[in-house]
Structure 1
Amino acid sequence: MLEIKNIVKQYANHRALDDVSTRVEQGSIFGLLGPNGAGKTSLIRIINQITAPDSGEVFFDGQPLSPDHIGRIGYLPEERGLYKKMEIGEQMLYLAQLKGLSKQEATSRIKHWFEKMEMQSWWHKKVEDLSKGMQQKVQFVATVVHQPDLIILDEPFTGFDPVNVNIIKEEILSLNRNGATIIFSTHRMESVEELCDSIVLINKSKKILDGKVREIKKAYRTNTYRVEHLSHDVQLASVEGLFAIESREDKGENTALTIKIAAGRTINDVLAHLLPIVQIHELKEIIPSIHDIFVQQVTTKASNPLISEQE
């Protein structure tokens, strides 16, 4: 769907993007991640043709990105882009027609979305009369009403309570199931785990990590496990060359251990040692979350085959 090649963007003495390349697959939900000031918004603005790169290229469905593609993109910016004094219904009609819908088709689709999002009574309200969360709902509808092929959501959950966060999540998944490709920029790492197929992580203008979420998490496994066993069993200790106990927690009748398996050994080796000694109630691998990986990569320069060679 979208291929980004060697994008460079410079603002005066600040380089916002430094040779950034990545690929967004058709039909995927793609996470665009990075701390504040990393360059995410600059990249989004280039994809939306609000600004142009100083060098590099963006391809949309195999073709160089052009104004003809704008009608196939829906963009929900982090900052609000609504007219405060304008009635909601009138504003939605105006924005939908800017995307190429006839007034009749726009009216039909807007009414459908207003009913779906429980916004029927908002038609004659003004944006300034709505809460932050209500405004975000309006802007979400404006983003998707023309049924874009590519939907770009920049912090889409801002201003929402937990109930409305879940509603928007379900709508994002529904749009994706119906064929939309979605670029999802957020600081909510739990949402990335829940929604995204692939991610790219940008820090200080450079790409430092990208790939499928499943493969990235697999690459960051540390061979660490949680083992819970009956407390009246023997007191377990680390076994050199097999596993080391990193932490121990008393849980009443049970004891929970965090163990790190030695290089070249497997969990089956550990179980062969433990089962004759203790009664195990729980065994679970501890896999770093995307949040853990995000924090690690923006605070360290850990070596990993998925990390870009750029510095």
Structure 2
Amino acid sequence: MNILLWHVHGSWTTAFVQGKHRYLIPVNEARDEWGRGRARTFDWPSSAEEHPLEEIRDADIAIVQRPEELDRVPPHVPVVYVEHNTPKGDVPQSRHPMADRDDLIVAHVTHFNELFWDTGHTRTTVIEHGVVEPKARWTGSLERLAIVTNEPVRRGRVTGTDLFERFTPVAPLDVFGMGVVPLRQDRVTTYDDPPQHEMHEQIALRRAYLHLCRWTSLGLSLIEAMQIGMPVLALATTEAVAAVPPDAGVLATRVDTLVEAAQWLLAEPDEAARLGARARQVALTRYGLDRFLADWDRLLEEELCASR
């Protein structure tokens, strides 16, 4: 199957292109948001090919992740719209931009997202995340906390950036991701857009993974940290509640509870190892690559058959 998709969400796309198909990735000279081409900091197989959009004429199906992509899909190519994000604005009343359409299906990445988006009579499904298992393994040798987030200054309260200072009296924070350089806080070190494998190796040295997003879809970096074997400290919001069981970390809406849990894990590395081992077991089972690709193969084949 020839699948057209834009390189939008790096970690998700990295998992998606590990399948058995041919993946056609638009590229342009600027390598901007409409033609980023192949990833440069992720490991993609040769079956993910970059081509100028105007030269892609043999797509069997298209994966669309932004409303603006619809007009760029060649005519008569069936579409699956992947919704990665939680709704914005007036959340209980949030209408999805693909609501009330009969020419596509919306595939949500979490059950939380499907619950909160109003898609009208548009068909929906949920295909939960899968990730390529990181090679790094947790040691927790550094008494520091790891955070992975993008643009923490611009996104502010969404990513829980305002909460960082609640944890720095307990342990230094190491923040990894895109656009983290402008972040300036005491006892906070930033690592801007490192190659994925290097980031995994670095966070594996930290005692625990700190997830302070107030309102976001389930971050793939959280799943990757769990598969590495890291204990998790997270706000009990959105899909994290379902992804992290009580014996794999500490979840709470009371920030002081998470601060106290950080102190506990720093003082008790054996307990951190116990939680991390369970986190790895859970994440490998629920968010394994084989399950993810099988779910997607099933949906793509159904949609392709239905379009004929």
TM-score surpassing 0.5?
Answer: no
- Between the two structures, name the one with larger relative contact order (CA 8 Å, sep ≥ 6): 1
| TM-score (ref. length: structure 2) | 0.27
- Tell which structure's C-alpha radius of gyration is larger: 1
| TM-score (ref. length: structure 1) | 0.26
